[in-house]
C-alpha cells in the first residue's frame, strides 16, 4: 500500500525529531493578507467556477499538517469551516493540536496517520491543502489519487512540488551528503554539523557553496532546521512542469491555476510585451496553459515551488470574463474577497 515503507519511516523520524515549521506557538497570521488569500477556499473556487463560495460548514483537510501553522492559517482564512489535520509524525500533530487550542480554534481535529490511509477516516473534504509534502512521495500520482478519492464533487486540492530546475544545486548537495553517508539514518546534530563544516570549509566561489549557502542564515539559531529542510532532507525530489501535468493526467485531475499565478506570466519576461519577436507574437497565443508554464520555467526557473490547484475533471466551465458582452457587465455583481480585502470577485 505504501510506495516505499522504509523511506516513509525515515521521513517520519525526521519530522518527529524536527517538526516543521518551527514557528513559535503564539505566532498569529491575522493581518497577513497574502497568506490568508492563498489559503482561502474562495480564491481557487472563484478561479475555477467564477463564483464566490461560503466557507461556513466546509470541511478542510491539511494533509501533512506538520506543526500546524498552515492549519491555523486555514482556520482563520476560512471562517466557519472545520479543519482536519493529519500527519505521519506524532510530535508534529501534538504541536498542531496545541497551536490551534492556543489560538482558541475549537472546530478542528488532528490524526496521526499517513496520507495513504486517508480513506479510513470515512470523511469527504471540500478543500485539501497539501503544502510542502507531495514532493516526498515516491509516486506523486498515487498521493493525488488518494486525495481525489476523499474530495467532494466540487472540491479543490492545493499541492506543490519542488522545482527540479530552481533547486538543482540543492539536489546536488543532497546527493553529495548522501554519498558521505549523512542520510543513511535519521540525520541529527552530528550530521548537521558535518554538512555545515563541509560548506564552511569550501572556497566561496565553489559552485555548490555559492548557489546554496547563505552564511547568515546557516549560522543563525534556525540552522539545524535549515540544514534538515535543504541539505539533509530525506525523500526530497524535484519535478518539472511536464512531470506535474503528467501526474495530474495519471490521477485524472484538472489543473486550475498556479497558486502564485501572477508570478508565472510569460509576457512579463519580455522587455516589451507589445513588441515581441514575430515567432513569439504568433506562437504565444496558441500555447496551452501547460506549455506556457513550461516555457516560463525553461526561461526563468525562479520559483522553488510548483504550487498549484486542481480539481475533478469535466466540471462545468463558466464563460471567461474576456468573452462577456456589455449587457453581461451591466448585470454583473461585484463581491469583495472575504480575506484579500483589495481583491474583487465579479459574477454574472
Ligand atoms: C515540510 S513539512 C510541511 C508541513 C506543513 N504542511 C507546512 O507546509 O507547514 C512535511 C510534513 O509532511 C509530513 N508527511 C510526509 N509524508 C507524509 C505522508 N505520507 N503522510 C502524512 N504526512 C506526511 C511530514 O511528517 C511533515 O510534517
Q: Is the pLDDT of residue 336 over 90?
A: no
Q: How confident is the model at residue 344 (pLDDT cuts 50, 70, 90)?
A: confident
Cell numbers at residue 60, please?
Answer: 478542510
* Cβ neighbours of 279 (radius 10 Å): 8
Report CA(20)–ligand 1 centroid distance (Å).
Answer: 8
Q: Which of 27, 39, 88 to mutate to test the pocket of ligand 1 (most atoms within 8 A of CB)?
A: 88
Q: Whole-number mean pLDDT of the chain?
A: 95
pLDDT at res. 341: 60
What is the rounded CA–CA span in Å between residue 46 and residue 53?
A: 8
Report CA(138)–ligand 1 centroid distance (Å).
Answer: 14
pLDDT above 70 as % of the chain: 98
Considering only residues 343 and 85, tell me which one the structure prediction assigns the higher pLDDT.
85
Q: Is the pLDDT of residue 145 over 70?
A: yes
> Using a 6 Å CB cutoff, which residues line ligand 1?
8, 11, 15, 20-21, 64-66, 69-70, 87-89, 92, 114-116, 131-133, 136
- The 3-state DSSP class for residue 45 equals helix
Q: Is the pLDDT of residue 347 over 90?
A: no
Tell me the pLDDT tens digit for each residue of 240-284: 999 999 999 999 999 999 999 999 999 999 999 999 999 999 999
Report CA(64)–ligand 1 centroid distance (Å).
Answer: 4
Is the alpha carbon torsion for 83, 21, 167, 230 positive or negative? Answer: negative
pLDDT at res. 78: 97
Alpha helices, DSSP H, located in 121-161: 140-149
pLDDT at res. 348: 59
Cell numbers at residue 154, please?
Answer: 466540487
Q: What top-level class would CATH report for the domain 5-163+237-260+303-336?
A: alpha beta
- 308 beta partners: 159, 258
Q: Is the pLDDT of residue 1 over 80?
A: no
> Which residues are CB-neighbours of 339 under 8 A, at least 6 positions away?
33, 36, 37, 40, 42, 77
**Residues 192, 69, 304, 219: what is their CA dihedral angle, to the nearest 10 degrees?**
-30
Q: Is the pLDDT of residue 345 over 80?
A: no
Q: How confident is the model at residue 97 (pLDDT cuts 50, 70, 90)?
A: very high
Tell me 323's DSSP state: G
What is the rounded CA–CA span in Å between residue 253 and residue 241?
A: 15
Report CA(67)–ligand 1 centroid distance (Å).
Answer: 9
What is the rounded CA–CA span in Å between residue 140 and residue 3?
A: 10
Tell me the pLDDT tens digit for each residue of 110-140: 999 999 999 999 999 999 999 999 999 999 9
Tell me the pLDDT tens digit for each residue of 273-323: 999 999 999 999 999 999 999 999 999 999 999 999 999 999 999 888 889
* Structural domain boundaries in the chain: 5-163+237-260+303-336, 168-229
What is the rounded CA–CA span in Å between residue 2 and residue 143?
A: 10
Report CA(16)–ligand 1 centroid distance (Å).
Answer: 11
What is the rounded CA–CA span in Å between residue 180 and residue 166?
A: 24
* Strand ranges in the chain using DSSP code E only, listed in sequence order: 59-63, 82-87, 108-112, 125-130, 151-163, 238-239, 254-258, 305-311, 333-336, 344-347
Cell numbers at residue 187, please?
Answer: 540525520
CA distances from 206 to 167, 180, 202, 211 (A): 17, 18, 7, 9
Is the alpha carbon torsion for 288, 298, 143, 97 positive or negative? Answer: negative
Please compute the mean of the pLDDT values over residues 147-170 and round it to a whole number: 98
* CA-proximal residue: ligand 1, atom 10 (nearest): 133
Is the alpha carbon torsion for 164, 165, 167, 172 positive or negative? Answer: positive
* Closest CA relative to residue 152, chosen from 126, 131, 132: 126
Q: Which atom of ligand 1 is nearest to the CA of 21?
A: 9
Tell me the pLDDT tens digit for each residue of 172-211: 999 999 999 999 999 999 999 999 999 999 999 999 999 9
pLDDT at res. 335: 85
182-217 burial code (b ≥16 CB/10 A, e <16): bbeebbeeebbebbbebbeeeeeeeebbeebbeeee
Q: How confident is the model at residue 342 (pLDDT cuts 50, 70, 90)?
A: low
- The 3-state DSSP class for residue 53 equals coil
Q: Which residue's C-alpha cell is 520555467?
A: 297
pLDDT at res. 319: 86
Amino acid at each position: 500500500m505504501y510506495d516505499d515503507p522504509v523511506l516513509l519511516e525515515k521521513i517520519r523520524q525526521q519530522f518527529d525529531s524536527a517538526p516543521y515549521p518551527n514557528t513559535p506557538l503564539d505566532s498569529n497570521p491575522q493581518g497577513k493578507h497574502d497568506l490568508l488569500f492563498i489559503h482561502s477556499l474562495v480564491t481557487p473556487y472563484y478561479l475555477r467556477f467564477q463564483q464566490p463560495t461560503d466557507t461556513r460548514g466546509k470541511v478542510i483537510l491539511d494533509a501533512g499538517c506538520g506543526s500546524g501553522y498552515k492549519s491555523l492559517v486555514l482556520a482563520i482564512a476560512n471562517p466557519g469551516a472545520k479543519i482536519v489535520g493529519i500527519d505521519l509524525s506524532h510530535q508534529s500533530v501534538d504541536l498542531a493540536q496545541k497551536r490551534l487550542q492556543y489560538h482558541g480554534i475549537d472546530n478542528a481535529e488532528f490524526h496521526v496517520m499517513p496520507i495513504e490511509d486517508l480513506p479510513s477516516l470515512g470523511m469527504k473534504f471540500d478543500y485539501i491543502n497539501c503544502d510542502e509534502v507531495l514532493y516526498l512521495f515516491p509516486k506523486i500520482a498515487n498521493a493525488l489519487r488518494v486525495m481525489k478519492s476523499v474530495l467532494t464533487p466540487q472540491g479543490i486540492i492545493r499541492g506543490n512540488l519542488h522545482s527540479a530546475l530552481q533547486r538543482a544545486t540543492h539536489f546536488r548537495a543532497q546527493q553529495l551528503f548522501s554519498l558521505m553517508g549523512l542520510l543513511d539514518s535519521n540525520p541529527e546534530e552530528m550530521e548537521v554539523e558535518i554538512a555545515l563544516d563541509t560548506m564552511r570549509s569550501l572556497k566561496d566561489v565553489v559552485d555548490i557553496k555559492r548557489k546554496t549557502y547563505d552564511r547568515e542564515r546557516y549560522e543563525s539559531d534556525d540552522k539545524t532546521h535549515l540544514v534538515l529542510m535543504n541539505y539533509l532532507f530525506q525523500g526530497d525530489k524535484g519535478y518539472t512542469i511536464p512531470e506535474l501535468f503528467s501526474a495530474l493526467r495519471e490521477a485524472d485531475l484538472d489543473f486550475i491555476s498556479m497558486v502564485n499565478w501572477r508570478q508565472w506570466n510569460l509576457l512579463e519576461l519580455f522587455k516589451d510585451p507589445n513588441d515581441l519577436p514575430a515567432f513569439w507574437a504568433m506562437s504565444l497565443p496558441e500555447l496551452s496553459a501547460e506549455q506556457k508554464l513550461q516555457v516560463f520555467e525553461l526561461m526563468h526557473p525562479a520559483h522553488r515551488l510548483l504550487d498549484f490547484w486542481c480539481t475533478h475533471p469535466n466540471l462545468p466551465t463558466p464563460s471567461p470574463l474576456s468573452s462577456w458582452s456589455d449587457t453581461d457587465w451591466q448585470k454583473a455583481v461585484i463581491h469583495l474577497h472575504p480575506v484579500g480585502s483589495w481583491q474583487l470577485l465579479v459574477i454574472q
